[in-house]
Structure 1
Amino acid sequence: MSVMAMRNSPLGSWAARLFKPVSISNQYIRSLHKNTRPPVPSPTPFVPDVQTFLTLIGREMSKQASKIPSWEELFTLNSNQLRDAGIEPARQRRYLIRKREKFRNGLYGPGGDLDTVVDGVAQLRVVEVPINARGLTNGGTKAAVQTSSATLSPGMAKAIVNLAPDATTYQYGKKHLIKKFAHMKIHRGCQPMGPFLQPLKGSNGTAATISVQEGMWEDKRGQKVDGGERRRREVQNKKRLDERKKA
Structure 2
Amino acid sequence: MLAPVRSSLIRGVRYSHSAAVSNTIPTPRGQIQDVPSFLKAIGRECDELAGKFESWDQLFTTSSRVMKTDMGINTKQRKYILSWLQRYRNGIEPYAIATPGPKKK
Under TM normalisation by the shorter chain, which class is it? 0.7 to 0.9
Pairwise CA distance, 1:220: 0.3
2:103 counterpart of 1:225: yes
Name stretches of at least 5 consecutive residues in structure 1 with no aligned partner.
Answer: 1-15, 110-216, 227-235, 237-247
**Pick aligned residue for 1:29 from 16, 19, 24:** 16
Q: In structure 2, what is the equivalent of residue 105 of structure 1?
A: 90
1:70-119 per-position Cα deviation (integer Å, ceiling 9, x unaligned): 1111111111111124243210111111111111100114xxxxxxxxxx
Q: Greater Rg, structure 1 or structure 2?
A: 1
Identity over the aligned pairs, expressed in percent?
Answer: 27
Pairwise CA distance, 1:44: 0.9
Cα distance change on mapping 1:96 and 1:31 into 2, 3 Å: closer
State TM-score, norm by structure 2.
0.81
Q: Distance in 2 between matches of 1:94 and 1:72?
A: 18
SS at match of 1:24: helix
2:63 counterpart of 1:78: yes
SS at match of 2:15: helix
Q: Distance in 2 between matches of 1:65 and 1:31?
A: 29
1:5-46 per-position Cα deviation (integer Å, ceiling 9, x unaligned): xxxxxxxxxxx8xxx85742220322322xx44211111141
SS at match of 2:26: coil
Compare relative contact order (CA 8 Å, sep 6+) and give the higher one, 1 or 2.
Answer: 2
Matches within 5 A, 1:195-206: none
- Larger proportion of helix: 2
Q: Distance in 2 between matches of 1:81 and 1:48?
A: 24
Q: Distance in 2 between matches of 1:21 and 1:86?
A: 45
Q: Distance in 2 between matches of 1:58 and 1:90?
A: 16
Contact 1:55 1:61 in 2 (8 A): yes
Once superposed, what is the RMSD of the aligned Cα atoms? Answer: 2.2
The count of aligned residue pairs is 100
Matches within 5 A, 1:52-91: 52-91=37-76
Contact 1:75 1:100 in 2 (8 A): yes
- Larger proportion of strand: 1
